[in-house]
Structure 1
Amino acid sequence: MPILALIVVGAAAGFIATRLMRLNTDIPTTIAIGVIGALISGLVLRFLIVLTGWAAGFVGAVLGAMVLIWLWRMYGPRR
């Protein structure tokens, strides 16, 4: 069952990623992109959590703050 879930989630992720990056691919390639991307990100996130524990949450907080600053600069009030 986890393999089937990985394929379904990977297909959806691949579809969204290829559309966001404006990449025209066939269905098997789209699914492969999504599945491989899910595997890579899953391994990286698990590695970070095991390696750093609570510090991974800190890294996530810093990244979230950086995104918020970027959004504020792009769409906030102009001087």
Structure 2
Amino acid sequence: MPILWLVIVGAAAGFLATRLMRLETGIVETVAIGMAGAVIGGLVLRFLLTVGSLVGGLVGAVLGAMLLIWIWRRIRGG
């Protein structure tokens, strides 16, 4: 089923991409372009989400540490 889904999504993506880029290709080339684009786009998106989550995790950790320091200063009275 995943292969069939990749072909269907690839065909749709390839069709849209070739029309937006004004490229005349056959059916096989259109599907291949769409499938390759889906793989490349998925990898790029996964990379960006990973980097984004790492940065988000760092920001959250820094904010949590700042909150802990603020609480610590309130408890100690300093």
TM-score normalised to structure 2 length: 0.64
Q: Bigger shift: 5-14 or 43-52?
A: 43-52
Q: CA RMSD in A?
A: 1.7
Who wins on radius of gyration, i.e. which is larger?
2
Unaligned runs of 5+ in 2: 57-78
Unaligned runs of 5+ in 1: 57-79
Whole-Å Cα distance in 2 between the matches of residues 50 and 44 of structure 1? 10
Quote how far apart the aligned CAs of 1:55 are: 4.9
Report whether the alignment pairs 1:47 with 2:68. Answer: no
TM-score normalised to structure 1 length: 0.63
Render the CA deviation track for 1:12-57: whole Å, top value 9, x for unaligned. 010011111111101000000000000000011111212331758x
- Moved segments of 4+, more than 3 Å: none
Q: What's the counterpart of residue 60 of structure 2? A: none
1:5-44 matches, within 5 Å, as: 5-44=5-44
